[in-house]
Amino acid sequence: MNNHLTHREMLTYVDGELSRTESRRVNKHLHSCWTCLAEMERLKGDIAILLDAQNEAFTPALPPPPRPWLGFDVILAHNRSKRPPSWLIRFGGEIRAFLSPAWITTVSAVVLLLVFCGYSVFRIQTVSAKEVIQKIEVADRQRRTITKDHVIRERVHIRKTTRGHASLNSESLDTWKSPTSAYWNIEHRDSAAADLKAKYQTLKIPFDLPLSAASMHSWEMAAGGNPTVSQEGPDINLIFANAHGEEARPVDRVTLLIEQRSWHVKQMTLDFSDASFEVTEDEYSLVPTSEVPPDLLAYLQPPAAEPAMKRVSDIEMSALHPPTVNLDRVALDVFATLHSLKADLGEPVTVTRSQRGIVVGLSQLPADRQHEIHAALYGKEGVQLELEAPRASLRKRAVASEQAVPADSSTALQIASQEGNEDQRLVKYFGTSQKQQDFTNKALGTSTTILSHLYALKGLQTQFPAERPLTPEQQSQLHSLVQDHLSSISANLNDLTNQLASLDRNFGVSSKTPVTGPVAATWQSGSLDLLEKARVVDHLLRALLTTSQLPASPESALPQIDQNLFMLRAELDSFNKKDVH
Amino acid sequence: MNNRSMGDAKSLEVFGLSRRDAAFAHAPMLHERVAAIYETHREKIYGFLVGQGLDPAKSQELAQEVFLRFFLALQKGGEIESEQAWLYRVASNLAVDYWRREGRSMWVELDSLPAVADRLHSKDLTPEAAAVRAQKLKRVAAMLARLPKEQRLGVHLRMQGLRYCDIAKILGVSVPTVSGLLSTAVERLRRTANE
């Protein structure tokens, strides 16, 4: 065979860096040229030698660090103190050499004056929407700081304009807020206020004072898109609108008019597809509880009720007050809610315990899904939702690393590689590549479903280890969740076993006596083992059915898959017999 | 307050913690997390930098700089897909910047060969075969130390699992150039191994 492969082609092929066309050409050549095939094997062997040389000879022969390592705290502190001065300071230092102190003082004063004037004139052009939102939050927090002897009353004027009609409906509405509750005093069912309230209920927007920062955030989530800010006379316009081309949102546009002096929201306009609501503040006051009607006060400050989700200051957050909620109960409630939304099955939702409650991380989810889960968990006692992603990457990496198959897996994973042959044999077996693709999608889909339930079980196991004492009611709720996952795993195991049976028959894989392993005492201790086996099955399936870097032959992969499926089944059955308690 | 409006009040809900509150609760976690990663990976990053021909003191200083940058990147909310790849990428960029400032070839100074030989371990080999293998590994390691710096960096980054396009970005060259560099380097190392 002429035109042998070059060394460069071989290395690029081994590294998986060739284009698809080139890769096919090289693959085809290797099928017909023993010389290149043998050389390719030698190259792989030599790469192993290079790695060994790097690990066993090169790296150990490098000189050790000359100094002891600094602690990370020290590096951070050192960085703060040694951070180079800004260019302004450096520039100041340069000119100080040839300017007198009097000159410096005069020039500095003039520069400061110019900067101040420029800031005053142009500051709205330089303030971002994010900064505006932050300022609104700060101002709102100050306004809402009240004692138990007062409640807030915000009287607003609501104007409703129905699209396609000239009619205008308007009325005043009194809204009330205590540290724990909010109340809208709607007088008439057929009114602009009642219609607005219906919008809140339909979209599961939590009730609060209509022009509060909390309301703003709720509508911001409903509108989506990036906020924009603009100047309108002495005030600022902040707009949340669905970007062009994005999917439809429940509200088309939310416009806030903000008083720049106080950063208070004066007016909010909600544009829906069928109507528009303009909410303007008429009056805002703190009312002594002695002046509040008794029935309203009883609602706003129920004597026996604990605050469901307390808005605490940063000082209070430093765990001066230990949590009063039962975290197990809250965690079970959260898992049950997530499970009802199927949000525990492979979606990047994290559930962790903090000093203040159960933290549910939703930052990796799309806005729509965030909104859905937010609505479902909203108002649950002791639940904190994390919607932003300052450290999303870490969590993402953590999820990714969890799902990777470990290189030193304790479960035997032996893949016999016979490059190129299996693909043709599988195509021949399936008849067409489309049928093969369909089979692959179905089998891998089933395997992924099994894995997602096992990851959910792992989440439960992390929160509820076997030694954690639970009340009978909590045990029952946990049992129900675990049983649900185990049933789904069991059903999908059956599916996968049936799907693979015909492959076993075709490739003559005999059903040897399966080896059974030790069975875990509890579902908590067994769930990790189950997960490990399911990951091995998934890995083998991908090696067998997809264009894997480590392709596997049916004769090698199928018996291992069958063995692991059998062990999974045996362990599941043992849990069912023990009734997973 | 009339009865009907109190009936409407049943649907009222209570507000919870703000997003800022929730994010604040995790602030100490970042510091602890990066400190743990620093403890785990600092020796490897140091070895990587020394392996690129930088002197040990400079390598240790730059290794610490890598983790500081990692912390600052996360603090700013940067997206980091793979933590390890990120660390090696930044370490490589620092090494390349250093080369450019120094503008000279950089061979790696390895410790004496007996020290290398002591660390070698060969399983299931006869003493003779183990000795042959040890000699082979030492020859390859010595050649790796003498490779041109771009080739050596390319090989090391490939060993860390970086793709050609990532290596190309670090070296400021095209992907085919990386392919050529790696091919040349690997062929030299293979010839040395099979001498």
State whether A183 and A218 are in the same domain. Answer: yes
Which residues, at least 6 apart from A149, have a Cβ–Cβ distance to it below 8 Å? A288, A289
Q: Which of A126, A148, A175 is the last residue of a domain?
A: A126
How far apart, in whole angstroms, are the C-alpha atoms of residue A24 and residue A388? 45
Does A12 map to a domain? yes
Per-residue model confidence as pLDDT tens digits over A237-273:
888 886 655 567 788 888 898 887 788 888 999 988 8
Residue A251, phi then psi, degrees to nearest 5: -125, 135
Q: Confirm if B96 and B170 have CB atoms less than 8 A apart.
A: yes
Arithmetic mean of pLDDT, A324-332: 75
Please judge whether B5 and A186 are an interchain contact, meaning their C-beta atoms are less than 8 angstroms apart: yes
Arithmetic mean of pLDDT, A358-375: 75
**Gap from A518 CA to chain B (nearest CA, Å):** 31
> How is residue B184 written in tokens?
């040349």
Selected for mutation to probe chain A from B8, B14, B118 (highest A CB count within 10 Å) is B14
How far apart, in whole angstroms, are the C-alpha atoms of residue B74 and residue B86? 11
Q: A–B: how many Cβ contacts below 8 A?
A: 248
Q: Confirm if B41 and B91 have CB atoms less than 8 A apart.
A: no
Please judge whether A385 and B16 are an interchain contact, meaning their C-beta atoms are less than 8 angstroms apart: yes
Arithmetic mean of pLDDT, A264-285: 87
How far apart, in whole angstroms, are the C-alpha atoms of residue A86 and residue A391? 27
| B136–A contact, CB cutoff 8 A | yes
Q: Among candidates B100, B93, B51, which has minimal Cα distance to B73?
A: B93
**Gap from B103 CA to chain A (nearest CA, Å):** 22
Selected for mutation to probe chain B from A174, A316, A394 (highest B CB count within 10 Å) is A394
> How is residue B73 written in tokens?
């990147």
* pLDDT at position B105: 56
Instruction: Flag whether pLDDT at A177 surpasses 80.
Output: yes
Please judge whether A8 and B180 are an interchain contact, meaning their C-beta atoms are less than 8 angstroms apart: yes
Residue A271, phi then psi, degrees to nearest 5: -105, 115
Which residues, at least 6 apart from A486, have a Cβ–Cβ distance to it below 8 Å? A457, A523, A572, A575, A576, A580
Distances (CA, A) of A98 to A44, A87, A107: 67, 18, 14
Residue type (1 letter), B96: V
Q: Which helix (H) or strand (E) holds A276?
A: strand A275-288
Instruction: From chain B, pick out residues whose CB is under 8 angstroms from the CB of A309.
Output: 14-17
* pLDDT at position B4: 36
The full DSSP string for B144-167 is HHHS-HHHHHHHHHHHTT--HHHH
Arithmetic mean of pLDDT, A64-85: 76
Instruction: Flag whether pLDDT at A464 surpasses 90.
Output: no
Does A61 map to a domain? no
Arithmetic mean of pLDDT, B144-163: 90
State whether A418 and A281 are in the same domain. Answer: no
Q: Which of A278, A305, A332 is the last residue of a domain?
A: A305
Please judge whether A54 and B141 are an interchain contact, meaning their C-beta atoms are less than 8 angstroms apart: yes
State whether A148 and A100 are in the same domain. Answer: no
> How is residue A49 written in tokens?
């030698």
Sign for the CA dihedral angle at A99, A102, A108, A110 comes to negative
State whether A360 and A470 are in the same domain. Answer: no
The full DSSP string for A459-519 is HHHHHS-TTS---HHHHHHHHHHHHHHHHHHHHHHHHHHHHHHHHHHHTT-----PPP---
Nearest to B23 among A61, A201, A386 (CB): A386
If one compares A9 and A422, the residue with the highest pLDDT of the two is: A9
Nearest to A58 among B23, B81, B144 (CB): B144
Count of the separate structural domains present in chain A: 5
DSSP strand pairing (A228-232 vs A182-185): unpaired
**Gap from B70 CA to chain A (nearest CA, Å):** 11
Which residues, at least 6 apart from A387, have a Cβ–Cβ distance to it below 8 Å? A221, A362, A363, A370, A374, B19, B22
Instruction: Flag whether pLDDT at A101 surpasses 60.
Output: yes
Residue type (1 letter), A12: T
If one compares A91 and A560, the residue with the highest pLDDT of the two is: A560
* pLDDT at position A86: 53
How far apart, in whole angstroms, are the C-alpha atoms of residue A213 and residue A140? 6
Nearest to A391 among B4, B26, B46 (CB): B26
State whether A185 and A198 are in the same domain. Answer: yes
Instruction: Flag whether pLDDT at A413 surpasses 50.
Output: no
**Gap from A322 CA to chain B (nearest CA, Å):** 14
> A394-408, A548-562, A566-580, B61-75: which range is least confident on average?
A394-408
Q: Give the pLDDT band (50/70/90) at residue A30.
A: very high
Strand order in the sheet with A182-185: A182-185, A168-177, A150-162, A275-288, A264-271, A253-259, A235-241, A228-232
* pLDDT at position A246: 59
Nearest to A214 among B15, B46, B194 (CB): B15
> A121-130, A323-332, A377-386: which range is least confident on average?
A121-130
State whether A338 and A443 are in the same domain. Answer: no
How far apart, in whole angstroms, are the C-alpha atoms of residue B167 and residue B176? 11
State whether A481 and A531 are in the same domain. Answer: yes
How far apart, in whole angstroms, are the C-alpha atoms of residue A556 and residue B42? 40
Does A371 map to a domain? yes
Instruction: From chain A, pick out residues whose CB is under 8 angstroms from the CB of B189.
Output: 46, 50, 53
How far apart, in whole angstroms, are the C-alpha atoms of residue B120 and residue B179? 31
Arithmetic mean of pLDDT, A438-451: 85
| B28–A contact, CB cutoff 8 A | no
Maximum mean pLDDT: which of A132-141, A283-292, B55-64, B94-103: B55-64
State whether A97 and A160 are in the same domain. Answer: no
Instruction: Flag whether pLDDT at B188 surpasses 50.
Output: yes
Q: CA-nearest residue of chain A to B29?
A: A391
State whether A367 and A439 are in the same domain. Answer: no
As beta bridge partners, residue A170 has A159
ipTM of the assembly? 0.79
* pLDDT at position A325: 60
**Gap from B142 CA to chain A (nearest CA, Å):** 7
**Gap from A211 CA to chain B (nearest CA, Å):** 14
Q: Confirm if A362 and A349 have CB atoms less than 8 A apart.
A: yes
Does A310 map to a domain? no
State whether A156 and A231 are in the same domain. Answer: yes
* pLDDT at position A392: 40
Q: Give the pLDDT band (50/70/90) at residue A315.
A: very low
Report domain B20-103's class.
mainly alpha
Give me the percent of chain A exceeding a pLDDT of 90: 8
Q: CA-nearest residue of chain A to B190?
A: A46
Instruction: Flag whether pLDDT at A535 surpasses 90.
Output: no
| B9–A contact, CB cutoff 8 A | yes
Please judge whether B78 and A393 are an interchain contact, meaning their C-beta atoms are less than 8 angstroms apart: yes
Q: Which of A404, A424, A458 is the last residue of a domain?
A: A404
Nearest to A299 among B9, B56, B136 (CB): B9
How far apart, in whole angstroms, are the C-alpha atoms of residue A238 and residue A265? 10
Q: Confirm if A449 and A492 have CB atoms less than 8 A apart.
A: yes
Token pair 């100074």 is found at B109
* pLDDT at position B153: 92
Please judge whether B68 and A293 are an interchain contact, meaning their C-beta atoms are less than 8 angstroms apart: no
Sign for the CA dihedral angle at A197, A202, A206, A210 comes to negative
Q: Confirm if B187 and B172 have CB atoms less than 8 A apart.
A: no
If one compares A581 and A215, the residue with the highest pLDDT of the two is: A215
How far apart, in whole angstroms, are the C-alpha atoms of residue A269 and residue A276? 7
Q: Which helix (H) or strand (E) holds A119?
A: helix A101-126
As beta bridge partners, residue A14 has none
Surface of B (155-184) touching A: CB under 8 A: 155-156, 158-159, 163-164, 175, 179-180, 182-183
Nearest to A180 among B14, B111, B138 (CB): B14
How far apart, in whole angstroms, are the C-alpha atoms of residue B184 and residue B158? 14
State whether A554 and A436 are in the same domain. Answer: yes
How far apart, in whole angstroms, are the C-alpha atoms of residue B27 and residue B44? 27
Instruction: Flag whether pLDDT at B155 surpasses 90.
Output: yes
Please judge whether A50 and B15 are an interchain contact, meaning their C-beta atoms are less than 8 angstroms apart: no
Q: Among candidates A332, A339, A368, which has minimal Cα distance to A249?
A: A368
Q: Give the pLDDT band (50/70/90) at residue B10.
A: very low
> A8-17, A532-541, B87-96, B108-117: which range is least confident on average?
B108-117
State whether A137 and A282 are in the same domain. Answer: yes
Instruction: From chain B, pick out residues whose CB is under 8 angstroms from the CB of A184.
Output: 8-9, 12
Nearest to A397 among B39, B82, B111 (CB): B82
How far apart, in whole angstroms, are the C-alpha atoms of residue A560 and residue A553? 11
Please judge whether B137 and A53 are an interchain contact, meaning their C-beta atoms are less than 8 angstroms apart: yes
Q: Confirm if B151 and A43 have CB atoms less than 8 A apart.
A: no
How far apart, in whole angstroms, are the C-alpha atoms of residue B108 and residue B53? 5
- The parent domain of residue A116 ranges over 87-126
Q: CA-nearest residue of chain A to B46?
A: A65
Does A349 map to a domain? yes
Token pair 């990714």 is found at A400
Residue A401, phi then psi, degrees to nearest 5: -70, -30
> How is residue A102 written in tokens?
């009097």
Instruction: Flag whether pLDDT at A13 surpasses 90.
Output: yes
* pLDDT at position A308: 40
Instruction: From chain A, pick out residues whose CB is under 8 angstroms from the CB of B158.
Output: 15
Which residues, at least 6 apart from A323, have a Cβ–Cβ distance to it below 8 Å? A355, A356, A357, A382
Q: Among candidates A564, A578, A569, A572, which has minimal Cα distance to A486?
A: A572
> Whole-number mean pLDDT of chain B?
77
Residue A152, phi then psi, degrees to nearest 5: -100, 140
How far apart, in whole angstroms, are the C-alpha atoms of residue A575 and residue B144? 55
How far apart, in whole angstroms, are the C-alpha atoms of residue A383 and residue A351? 10
Nearest to A394 among B16, B33, B56 (CB): B33
Selected for mutation to probe chain A from B15, B151, B181 (highest A CB count within 10 Å) is B15
Which residues, at least 6 apart from A354, have a Cβ–Cβ distance to it below 8 Å? A384, B25
The full DSSP string for A196-229 is HHHHHHHTTPPPS-TTSHHHHHHHHHHH-S--EE
Per-residue model confidence as pLDDT tens digits over B49-85:
988 888 888 899 999 999 999 988 888 877 787 888 8
3-state secondary structure of A550: coil
If one compares B102 and A487, the residue with the highest pLDDT of the two is: A487
* pLDDT at position A14: 93
Nearest to A317 among B25, B51, B110 (CB): B25
* pLDDT at position A39: 93
Instruction: Flag whether pLDDT at A395 surpasses 70.
Output: no
Q: b/e for B86-110, b at 16 or more Cβ within 10 A?
A: bbbbbbbbbbbebbeeeeeebebeb
